[in-house]
């Protein structure tokens, strides 16, 4: 599998906006702040990008640092982030996580996966995204899109996203790790969908085993 050409084609398509970016994807590309990446990722879980971007903007009007967030009431945060999925639980989670960062980590988000996943409700997908988008450190964030597309391409043969992450860590060149999720998520949202993928519009269709 020619992963170098696949990556190059996806990068070009993304940069030229031939893969339509959601507003939330662009927002996350420009955040560059580990704490903001972390809490916005929490909002995005099980919620579509359109709802998440509005909620994220309202949330950040209330607070932009862990210390500021500890001073926001749970009720006020719930109101700001509604209607994201599980907004009540997420509001509590974000405030408790902010307290923990403030008290245990002196206001600084840790930059190691093992530390990040100690936070309640933070899994490897979120932790990896914080490393890539918040710290600009190589990590592989695997969600359903990355898992699905890597298997369709035939680059990996795995049953679960966690297995896909481990397989990619072994074979994907490290220079591609940071942006790999961004390109595949954008492809997955617009073209390589779970049902009825638009293979005729896919920039990497020639490399794909799904339609062969």
Q: Does domain 33-135 have CATH number 1.10.10.10?
A: no
CA distance 204 to 154: 12
- What pLDDT sits at residue 212? 58
Q: What is the pLDDT of residue 85?
A: 95
Whole-prediction pTM value?
A: 0.93
Domain ranges of the chain: 3-19+140-207, 33-135
How would you write the pLDDT of the chain (212 residues) with one tens digit per residue? 799 999 999 999 999 988 888 899 899 989 989 999 999 999 999 999 999 999 999 999 999 999 999 999 999 999 999 999 999 999 999 999 999 999 999 999 999 999 999 999 999 999 999 999 999 999 999 999 999 999 999 999 999 999 999 999 999 999 999 999 999 999 999 999 999 999 999 999 999 988 65
Q: What is the pLDDT of residue 211?
A: 66
Q: Alpha-carbon distance 24 to 27, whole Å?
A: 5
Instruction: Tell me whether the CATH fold assigned to 3-19+140-207 matches the one assigned to 33-135.
Output: no
Alpha-carbon distances of 212 from 6, 162, 168, 181, 208, rounded to whole Å: 17, 26, 23, 24, 7
Per-residue pLDDT, 167: 98
User: How far is CA 80 from each of CA 43, 53, 75, rounded to the nearest angstrom?
Assistant: 11, 12, 9
Q: Indicate the CATH number of 3-19+140-207 among 1.10.1670.10, 3.30.390.10, 1.10.540.10, 1.20.1730.10.
A: 1.10.1670.10
CB-based contacts of 201: which residues, under 8 Å, 6+ apart?
191
- Between helix 34-44 and helix 49-62 the angle, nearest 10°, is 130
């Amino acid at each position: 599998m020619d992963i170098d050409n696949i990556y190059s084609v996806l990068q070009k398509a993304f940069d030229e906006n031939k893969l339509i970016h959601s507003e939330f994807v662009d927002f996350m590309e420009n955040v560059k702040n580990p704490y903001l990446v972390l809490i916005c990722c929490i909002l995005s879980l099980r919620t579509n990008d359109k709802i998440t971007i509005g909620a994220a903007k309202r949330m950040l009007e209330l607070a932009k640092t862990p210390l500021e967030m500890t001073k926001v009431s749970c009720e006020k945060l719930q109101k700001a982030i509604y209607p994201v999925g599980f907004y009540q639980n997420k509001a509590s989670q974000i405030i408790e996580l902010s307290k923990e960062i403030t008290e245990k980590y002196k206001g600084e988000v840790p930059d190691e996966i093992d530390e990040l996943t100690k936070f309640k409700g933070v899994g490897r997908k979120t932790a990896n995204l914080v490393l890539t988008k918040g710290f600009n450190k190589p990590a592989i964030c695997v969600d359903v899109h990355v898992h699905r597309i890597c298997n369709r391409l035939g680059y990996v043969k795995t049953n679960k996203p966690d297995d896909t992450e481990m397989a990619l860590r072994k074979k994907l060149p490290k220079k591609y790790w940071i942006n790999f999720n961004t390109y595949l998520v954008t492809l997955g949202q617009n073209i390589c969908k779970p049902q009825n993928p638009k293979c005729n519009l896919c920039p990497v269709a020639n490399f794909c085993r799904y339609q062969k």
